[in-house]
Amino acid sequence: MTQQFENKTILITGAAGFIGSNLVLRLLKTEENIHIIGLDNMNDYYDVSLKEYRLGRIAELAEQKPTCTWEFIRGNIADRELIFSLFQSHRPQIVVNLAAQAGVRYSITNPDAYIESNMLGFYNILEACRAYPVEHLVYASSSSVYGSNQKIPYSTEDRVDNPVSLYAATKKSNELFAHAYSKLYDIPTTGLRFFTVYGPAGRPDMAYFSFTNKLRKRQTIEIFNYGNCKRDFTYVDDIVEGVFRVMAKAPERKTGDDGLPIPPYGVYNIGNSKPENLLDFVTILQEELIAAGVLPQDYDFELYKKLTPMQPGDVPITYADTTALERDFGFKPSTTLRQGLRNFALWYAEFYGREQQE
């Protein structure tokens, strides 16, 4: 396999996060002679021990790869001084910005966190890329930018000016900021709209994880829009493979007829392109949790299921059109929901323990 990133310095923000940590692992597994800097503020939006577990896995693998270096820095992308000193001392050639305050519902009650991380933090990253030029800035956008769009599947050609949450608005602002910086300063940027990412050691606020925690405690799970929601669930390994391929191929710098740069700017969807009904999703999840021993064979799910109305900030369906990703990078996510949830259930059983059978 050819080394895509040999002798490169790569900065990954949000490196203790779900996608960030898996991306670091992917790079360490397949690449040689790379220097990876991970930045994360380790906030307590969810259980910090999960973030520490992910960092532990990275440290173990990094020890086995003497040709690669891994350095973790605890810090906030909203700290301009820190970001500039980091860029000045390390001069990363590739930057992957995955640090963000996540979650649609949390943005309704805690807007400040989103403005600080998703807007001010991203602005600091862009300014640092301008001051210390990079080969490629890749950043996380979100399927939430599609908001209340009626047309499906969602295409990157669609207009996205109907956000239904502050979180979605901040992610759209990232794309606008990136476009302006690409145009003004010729910085190659690529935004990636992720669709409902799931998998082992994921985010506990996501439905598959929170449902599992609640079912274990014999608590009721709420299924919104009376179960008439569909989500384009995308397995984390597929997301990471997409990010990996995009990192290696920056948008080309070109000059327009006016003698000014044509913005080296791109945006892609990364999704499974197979929306799953939430009730079907819950059925598969419960089957895999029983098979993995997380829940007992005779578990009565009907006791703990409650169908409820649509929540503020939610949309009835997400569905990715990944034509552009396939065309430009030869990649299409393919992990089935059952396989992905099986992997999650087996990890959960190992991490949290199996249910004691009577």
How much is the pTM? 0.95
- The confidence score (pLDDT) of residue 317 equals 85
pLDDT band at 174 (very low <50, low <70, confident <90, very high): very high
C-alpha to C-alpha distance for 238 and 22, rounded to whole angstroms: 11
- Containing H/E element for 173? helix 166-185
Highest mean pLDDT among 149-153, 294-298, 309-313: 294-298
Contact 68, 61 (CB under 8 A): no
- Catalytic (active site) residue 235: no
Q: At what angle do helices 18-30 and 48-63 cross, to 10 degrees?
A: 10
Catalytic residue among 167, 198, 235, 265: 167
pLDDT in tens, 219-266: 999 988 878 889 999 999 999 999 999 999 999 988 888 887 799 999
- Cα 100 to its chain centre, rounded Å, is 9
Bridge partners of residue 269, in order along the sequence: 193
Which of 256, 276, 264, 356 shows the shortest CA–CA distance to 320? 276
Name the CATH superfamily housing domain 9-198+233-273+318-334. NAD(P)-binding Rossmann-like Domain (3.40.50.720)
Is the predicted pLDDT of residue 315 greater than 90, yes or no? no
Could you tell me the CA-to-CA distances from 133 to 5, 38, 185, 186 in Å, in that order?
17, 19, 9, 9
Strands (E), 91-246: 94-97, 136-142, 189-194, 197-198, 221-223, 230-231, 234-235
For range 293-309, the mean pLDDT: 92
Domain segments of the chain as ranges: 9-198+233-273+318-334
Summarised one tens digit per residue, pLDDT across range 201-210 is: 999 999 999 9
323-335 pLDDT per residue, tens: 999 999 999 999 9
Res 256: pLDDT: 83
